[in-house]
Structure 1
Amino acid sequence: MNDKNEIEKGASERLIRYFDLVEIRSETNSPFEYIQEKLTKAIEYFLAHDIEKLLNILYRIDVAEKEVREAMLDKKPAERLSKLVILRELQKAETRIKYRNNNQHGRNKLG
């Protein structure tokens, strides 16, 4: 698996878990457009019914508070928040893979 696929797979698995997107659990290689559509619907629900839970999830995912505030003022806050969440999860997945590869590379030099 190349790094891009691994990054996307890692990010999508975390998004599925955070937002309980049951409909796509079995699809490990879900396109991000589909995930964003489901994520946007989940965020719309949280905005209407449980904003505290949404803010807690956004905090755990580590979406910047300033970006969250700006997204809340947007005409389509759920769509904008879903993009921010996906972007942040992709960044985190990329960082994990980068450090894992660096650690493996360092071990190969030593061994």
Structure 2
Amino acid sequence: MDDLKALSRIISNDFELEEELSSAQLREKMIYAFSWLLDNDISKMMNILYRTDVDEERLKSLLISRSQLPSAEVIADEYIRRQMQKVETRKKYSS
């Protein structure tokens, strides 16, 4: 299974996704989702980030250092990065 499919499968535990998204489409969907969560349900967003094991201190640092970007974009990128780490780890230990 390719990495993008594995990544989409992991992310679909937290968000509803259509099948066969490109990496750019996946990123856009995550930015939109985190933007919505920031505006409407921050506790749900925090719960997702906690369960995903996104490093809180790293995220705070990224939000400060990339303050010119929308917060939802920074959060989405970090969420995707963390989920991709899980894909890589599973691939490494499944062979």
TM range, smaller chain: 0.7 to 0.9
**Residue 41 in 1 paired to residue 32 in 2?**
yes
Deviation (angstroms), 1:86: 0.9
**Residue 89 in 1 paired to residue 80 in 2?**
no
When you count helix as a share of all residues, which structure comes out higher?
1
| 1:64 counterpart residue number | 55
| Alpha-carbon distance in 1 for matches of 2:48, 2:62 | 15
- Bigger Rg, structure 1 or 2: 1
Q: Indicate if the aligned counterparts of 1:41 and 1:78 stay in contact, CA closer than 8 A.
A: yes
| Alpha-carbon distance in 2 for matches of 1:71, 1:20 | 26
Amino acid corresponding to residue 9 of structure 2 in structure 1:
E
What 5-or-longer segments of structure 2 have no aligned partner? none
| More displaced 10-residue stretch of structure 1: 44-53 or 67-76 | 67-76
| Alpha-carbon distance in 2 for matches of 1:70, 1:58 | 15
SS at 1:83 equivalent: helix
Number of corresponding residues: 92
| 1:14 counterpart residue number | 10
Q: Percent identity?
A: 35
TM-score (norm: length of structure 2): 0.85
TM-score (norm: length of structure 1): 0.74
| 1:106 counterpart residue number | none
| Structure 1 vs Structure 2 CA RMSD | 1.6
1:53 to 44, 50, 57: 44
| Alpha-carbon distance in 1 for matches of 2:62, 2:16 | 22
Moved over 4 A (4+): none
